[in-house]
Amino acid sequence: EVQLVESGGGLVQPGGSLRLSCAASGFTFRYSDMHWVRQPAGEGLEWVSGVDTTGETYYADSVQGRFTISRENDKNSLYLQMNSLRAEDTAVYYCVRVYRSYVYYYMDVWGIGTTVIVSS
Amino acid sequence: DIQMTQSPSSLSASVGDRVTITCRASQSIEGSLNWYQQKPGKAPKFLIFAASSLQNGVPSRFSGSGSETSFTLSISSLQPEDFATYYCQQSYTFPWTFGQGTKVAIE
């Protein structure tokens, strides 16, 4: 069964740091692009960051320079290092697998999410 | 950044109704448009890619169409399990962006 399980969420003070992890199973992780998507409570979805199979990374403007995405293929794991956290980073963070069909990319597998709360 | 705008933001419908949701991009995204369904407290579920290609296992009552800047998601005969929020998303260029969502509620 293809599965993504996030961990590492929690309560952190503004300006603090947190590292999210995502454990992948059921597919060949090293051949998949992987992304993070977040959702504040009661709001819509926001794409956060992605890393492709070559290690190239992409970020939303809102997190550029504060968040760092990385992957460890030998451990089938994806990470999101979040620094200088702000109240507006409070959200459920989803780990997602990105599948490519020809020139089309889509997020076909989602984790259950981990909650990050930034508050004093 | 490419802005994605969905309409309506919410709608009420009955079981058996045909429902159509529109998604517009602020610039051409060719066919790089995906649709997701989300139920309360759950992760989103992927439905359609490349504007009109159904993911395996998605019921055929769902369909997508469009290109460039204008896209639609249709549900031909609404079922009880279809009441949810639907999001469009462009994967044409980074940063990827989502529409604000359309909540489909029971009338």
Quote the strand ranges of B1-107, DSSP E: 4-7, 10-13, 19-25, 33-38, 45-49, 53-54, 62-67, 70-75, 85-90, 97-98, 102-106
pLDDT digits (tens, 9 = 90+) for A96-105: 999 998 899 9
Confirm or reject contact between A2 and chain B (CB < 8 A).
Answer: no
pLDDT digits (tens, 9 = 90+) for A4-32: 999 999 999 999 999 999 999 999 999 99
Tell me if A47 and B36 make a contact (CB, 8 A cut-off): no
For an interface test with A, which of B52, B96, B97, B100 has the most A Cβ atoms less than 10 Å from its Cβ?
B96
Q: How many residues does chain B have?
A: 107
Confirm or reject contact between B94 and chain A (CB < 8 A).
Answer: yes
| Mean pLDDT in residue range B72-94 | 97
Look at residue B107 in the predicted model and tell me its pLDDT.
85
**Residue B106 in this model has a pLDDT that exceeds 90:** no
